[in-house]
Amino acid sequence: MDSLMERLDLLVLNPNLTPLLTLVKAARNGAIYGAKVRFPHALVMVFLFRSGTFREKMRLVLKATRQHARNLAAFAIVYKSAMIMLKHLNRNRKEGRYDAFMAGLLGGYVVFGRNHGSVSQQIVIYVFARVILALAKLSIQPKMHPLSSLVTPDARSKITEHAWQVFASLSWAFVMYIFRWHPESIVSSLRSSMTYIYVDSEHWDSFRNFLIHNK
């Protein structure tokens, strides 16, 4: 066993195999992270809000977990592969300033852009929200764009202090307005949870379905 581990150590430490091993490690980490994130979330959501037998519910949980893990692993492979190729295409054999953008664009299209499933949508929406928050922070940083000089240090401090409050308030304002007047445009999982909280709470005909059971 010790000799086998020594051989494996020599293999993974071979500098000539570094690009290939980077892809393997990225896929491994993407799959594990996706499984860790999705399994407990799917377990709770399916057993709370889905009907069916225990076996049927577990099948849904495992399906969602597998999809999340596969998506992140596949994206990691495409992204890392593109980064390696772009680096070798550069004359100086160094990473270009926009290589990450191009590699992310390719990975986003190949893995998520052609897949409209609920798991893919949730991942993309989560990433989109984080991108918007990051861009909002960058937009007021010094020397980030031609208008950066117009933002004084005092204004920058006030914007930073209140940005989250504005973002949270507007997000909930828009989602509640859309749910009230255009509920069909909201993704089904969010619509069902909002219906449970804000619509079903208006209907009951006994103490039992007022406090013990919803219906």
List, as one string, the DSSP characters of 128-177. Answer: HHHHHHHHHHHHTSTTSSTTGGGS-HHHHHHHHHHHHHHHHHHHHHHHHH
Residue 128 maps to a domain: no
Listing DSSP states for 70-132 in one string gives HHHHHHHHHHHHHHHHHHHHSTTSS--TTHHHHHHHHHIIIIIIT---HHHHHHHHHHHHHHH
- Whether residue 123 is contained in a domain is answered as no
Residue 92, in any domain of the structure = yes
Q: Residue 58 CA to chain centroid, in angstroms?
A: 23
Instruction: Name the helix (H) or strand (E) containing 187.
Output: none
Q: Check residue 73 and give its pLDDT.
A: 97
Residue 14 domain flag: yes
**Token digits for 208?**
């039992």
- Of 83, 71, 182, the C-alpha closest to 126 is 71
Q: Is residue 105 part of a domain?
A: yes
Q: Say yes or no to pLDDT of 195 above 90.
A: yes
User: Which of the two residues, 213 and 124, has the higher pLDDT score?
Assistant: 124
Tell me if 210 is assigned to some domain: no
pLDDT greater than 80 at residue 48 = yes
Q: What is the per-residue pLDDT for 170? A: 94
Give which of 138, 160, 162 is closest to 148, Cα–Cα.
138
The count of structural domains within the chain is 1
Residue 149: the pLDDT is 84
Compute how many other C-beta atoms are within 10 angstroms of the C-beta atom of residue 13: 10
Return the half-sphere exposure (C-beta side, CA atoms, 13 A cut-off) of residue 129: 9
Chain segment 50-72, per-residue pLDDT in tens: 889 999 999 999 999 999 999 99
- Chain-centroid distance of CA 61 in Å reads 18
In a domain, 189, yes or no: no
Q: Compute the residue count for the chain.
A: 215
pLDDT tier for residue 148 given thresholds of 50, 70 and 90: confident
What residue numbers bound the domain in which 78 lies?
A: 1-116
Q: With respect to residue 42, please indicate whether it lies within any of the assigned structural domains.
A: yes
